Amino acid sequence: FEVERGTAGMETAFVATYGSGEPVVAILAEYDALPKLGHACGHNLIATWGVGAGIALRRALPDISGTIKVIGTPAEEGGGGKVIMAEAGIFNGIDAVMMMHPRDTTYADRGSLAIAHYEVAFHGKASHASSAPENGINALDALLQVYFSINQLRQAFPPQTRIHGIITHGGDAANIIPDYAAGSFLVRANDQTYHEKLKQQFRDICEAAALATGARVEIDEGIGYKQRVCNSALVETFRDNLERLGIACETPTATTGVGSSDIGDVSQLVPTIHPYLQICDKGTSGHTTGFAEAAGSARADELTATGATLLAWTAAEVLLRPELREQLRLTFREQIGRDPAR
Q: Give pLDDT tens digits for 104-150.
A: 999 999 889 999 999 999 999 999 999 999 999 999 999 999 999 99
Q: What is the dihedral of CA 151, 153, 154, 156, to 10 degrees?
A: 150
DSSP letter at 212 equals: H
**Strands 14-20 vs 2-5: parallel, antiparallel or unpaired:** antiparallel
Q: What is the structure's pLDDT at 253?
A: 74
CB atoms within 10 A of CB 190: 21
Contact by Cβ (8 Å): 258, 186: no
Contact by Cβ (8 Å): 129, 136: yes
Q: What is the structure's pLDDT at 256?
A: 67
The pTM of the whole model exceeds 0.85: yes
What CA–CA distance (Å, rounded) separates 214 from 55? 61
Return the CATH fold of 114-221: Alpha-Beta Plaits (3.30.70)
| CATH of segment(s) 2-112+227-336 | 3.40.630.10
Amino acid of residue 66? G
What CA–CA distance (Å, rounded) separates 201 from 122? 18
DSSP letter at 138 equals: -
Every domain of the chain with CATH number 3.30.70.360 lies at 114-221
Model confidence pLDDT, tens digit, residues 182-222? 999 999 998 899 999 999 999 999 999 999 999 999 999 99
What CA–CA distance (Å, rounded) separates 74 from 339? 27
What CA–CA distance (Å, rounded) separates 12 from 181? 36
The alpha carbon of residue 178 and the mean position of all alpha carbons in its chain are separated, in whole angstroms, by 36
Every domain of the chain with CATH number 3.40.630.10 lies at 2-112+227-336
Task: Give Cβ neighbours of residue 280 (< 8 Å, ≥ 6 apart).
Answer: 102, 104, 290, 291, 294, 297, 299, 300
**Strands 66-72 vs 24-29: parallel, antiparallel or unpaired:** parallel
The alpha carbon of residue 195 and the mean position of all alpha carbons in its chain are separated, in whole angstroms, by 15
CB atoms within 10 A of CB 94: 24
Q: What is the structure's pLDDT at 160?
A: 87
DSSP line for 283-311: T--SSSHHHHHHHTSHHHHHTHHHHHHHH
Q: Give the residue ranges of the chain where pLDDT is below 70.
A: 254-257
DSSP letter at 71 equals: E
